Amino acid sequence: MRLKHVKKAEEKINHSTYLIKEPQQYKGNFKSLFQNNNEIHIEIGTGKGLFLLQMAKTYPNINFIGIEKYDSVIVRAIEKIEENPLDNLRFIRMDATNIEEVFDHEINTIYLNFSDPWPKDRHEKRRLTSSVFLKKYDTIFKDKKHIIMKTDNRHLFEYSTISFVKNDYKIDDISLDLHKEQTENIQTEYEIKFSNLGYPIYKIEVSK
């Protein structure tokens, strides 16, 4: 992306009330941001926000926060919410590596949708379902820990399933071809793309 476009994206998101600019200041008290005691669900690697925009519309009594590391991507989510305002959705631009600096025992559910697979062994720690990340998530969950993951990547799916179990999660639900099942499902951008190409979508829901 050209520098001019990156600068434009940066300006646009920095002017939006939907971007939480200094998220650390709400640590342990994100309910004050939403001004209610509703559950808080986050999506890590939210991309252009399609999933959370739809979730927030469908579930007005849940608060949602989308976390995305790139300005050039999150700007699309910000543009969409500016056009169709929602009180129960906000975004944070950050690398989730620092997630435990932002939340403290206040999150009810984490969504991991089509996370980057990082296929090389030496990059394992970067996978959002590695033990490194799962240990960080332990500090941000309120009481019950609840993760819902979808992916088209078989290797990441198998790796994540093992990682969840190794970290004491129990499997509540699992699907090897989500779109063949008649379940309620809000799709993500990548999910639409990959299922249109004929790939099966894997889903796993775990808790502890």
CB under 6 A: which stretch of 2-10, 31-39, 92-100, 196-204 binds ligand SAM? Answer: 92-100
* 95 catalytic residue (yes or no): no
What x/- string results for residues 126 through 145 when contact with ligand SAM is judged by CB under 6 A? --------------------
Q: Which two tokens stand for residue 27?
A: 């640590």
When binding is defined by CB under 6 A, the residue of 189, 200, 205, 207 that contacts ligand SAM is: 189
* Residues in region 5-64 near ligand SAM by CB under 6 A: 44-47
CB under 6 A: which stretch of 78-86, 112-120, 134-142, 171-179 binds ligand SAM? Answer: 112-120
Q: Which residue is nearest to ligand SAM (CB)?
A: 45
When binding is defined by CB under 6 A, the residue of 69, 80, 142, 208 that contacts ligand SAM is: 69
- For the chain, the three-class secondary structure string (H helix, E strand, C coil) is CCHHHHHHHHHHHHCCCCECCCHHHHCCCHHHHHCCCCCEEEEECCCCCHHHHHHHHHCCCCEEEEEECCHHHHHHHHHHHHHCCCCCEEEEECCHHHHHHCCCCCECEEEEECCCCCCCHHHHHHCCCCHHHHHHHHCCECCCCEEEEEECCHHHHHHHHHHHHHCCCEEEEEECCHHHCCCCCCCCHHHHHHHHCCCCCEEEEEEC
CB under 6 A: which stretch of 24-32, 94-102, 137-145, 177-185 binds ligand SAM? Answer: 94-102
Task: Write down the catalytic residue from 71, 95, 104, 116.
Answer: 116
Specify the residue, 35 or 151, whose C-beta has the smaller distance to ligand SAM: 151
* 190 counts as binding ligand SAM under rule CB under 6 A: yes
Known catalytic residues are 116
Contact positions vs ligand SAM (CB under 6 A): 44-47, 67-70, 73, 95-97, 113-114, 116, 188-191
